[in-house]
Every structure is written in structure tokens, then in C-alpha cells.
Amino acid sequence: MLGTLFFMPPLPRETRQRQLILAAAYIINVISIATTLYASLLYWKQDYHTSKLTGAQWVEELIYGHTDCIRTELGMNMHIFLLLVEELRSLCHLEDSKFVTLQEQAAIFLYMCVTSLSIRHVGEQFQHSNETIST
């Protein structure tokens, strides 16, 4: 009796072809939807670094803000930080790069030393790409 419940007569050839065409169309549709969703992430770009303060502005805020802030964030007092930057400029002949000032470069280095944060986190703090932070 169970054998008769699950027995299905063979389908006509036209019905099988129609089912195969529908299955192929369904698979193609799923692939096109997946491709569209994947590509939309590349098409609808959104800026990652959107803070009101740039890295240079944050360093300026540390320099001209409360004296404990720069010591907390960079591990040294403001006057020592400014002396370090001037020594780097005069003794090591370092200069501002095209996108990052020497003050900001020194602050990035010190901030990474003090916080032990990843490049991605430091990049978010200073509003720069990971490539800019790591070089």
C-alpha cells in the first residue's frame, strides 16, 4: 500500500522540459539577485571617516586644550610634545607630508604607543586610511 502512495507516473516530455526551463530561470534569477546585492556594496559608497574633527584638528585640540588631555592621550606633556616635534624637524630633517603634518605624525606614533590600538582604530581617531597610518 505504501508503494502506491509514492508512485508517480512519468511526466510527459513537454512538462519535464517546462520544469527544467523554470528551474534554470529560477537559478539564473537567484544568481543575478546575488550579483546585484554584492555589486551594490561597491556602487553605493559611503565615507568611512566622517568625524567632525580631522586628525590635525584633534591634535590642535590636545595642544590647546586641558593639559591633562594631551598627557592622557599621548603620554607626555604639551611642551615636551612640541619640543619633540621641533627636534624631529631640526635634527632629523623631517617635514610635513602631503597629507599629514609632522605634529600629527608624531601624535599618531605616540597615540599608538600609549593605547596599543590597531591601525584601524587609530585611523578612525585621526580620520585617515589604514595605509596612511601604517606608513
Asked if 109 and 92 count as a contact pair (C-beta separation under 8 A), the reply is no
Measured distance CA(108)–CA(51) in Å, rounded: 17
75-132 tens-digit pLDDT: 999 999 999 999 999 999 999 988 899 999 999 999 999 999 999 999 999 999 888 8
Quick count: other Cβ atoms within 10 Å of Cβ 12? Answer: 9
What is the domain partition of the chain in residue ranges? Answer: 12-43, 55-134
Measured distance CA(112)–CA(88) in Å, rounded: 18
pTM, 2 dp: 0.65
Measured distance CA(72)–CA(67) in Å, rounded: 9
Q: What is the band of 43 on the pLDDT scale with cuts at 50, 70, 90?
A: low
Measured distance CA(74)–CA(79) in Å, rounded: 12
Q: pLDDT at position 38, please? A: 80
3-state secondary structure of 24: helix
3-state secondary structure of 107: helix
The residue to which cell 586610511 is assigned: 129
